Amino acid sequence: MIIHNSGSVGDVSRTALQHDSVASADSYFRLNVAAVVALNGVFLRQVGQRAAHVTVINISSLCALQPFKSMSLYCAGKAARDMFFRVLAAEHPELRVLNYAPGPLVTDMARTVADTTADPDIQKMFREGVDGGFLTCATTVERLINALESDKFESGSHVDYYDKDE
């Protein structure tokens, strides 16, 4: 099993039109997309013939499916990762691939968004969430384990913490 959970939220102090640096965008996508793609390839090559027993989990986000103001790089990166893993699942049906969106969590990343976002509505939502409205990591990990154990998801699909079917 490999779980792709590393990454960053990027610069949420800027709106989409304020991202005007190729170097900054390249740095963001290098960490959040390109590195994940490369690591996954290296891992699966090492696994080789045992790939039929491998589960690949991409920690996704609702942001992969819906726009969140001031989070354009994060949303684009999560959407790119989801699609990459959907293609992986289509190309390699012997793998179990899951794009899992853990729901809103109390993390350092959520605190960063609450403190630095350019959008007042997102700031309010994240501040309230960090102060007690968001999920704990333990809660969402339990849901992920249940989804993996039930094995009802279609390989490559996007499963959200709040989905009732998985």
The domain limits of the chain are 2-160
Q: Does residue 50 register a pLDDT over 90?
A: no
Instruction: Please tell me the pTM assigned to this model.
Output: 0.94
d(CA 157, CA 166): 11
Query: Domain 2-160 is in which class?
Result: alpha beta
pLDDT in tens, 16-31: 999 999 999 999 999 9
Q: Nearest-5° angle of CA 71, CA 22, CA 117?
A: 20
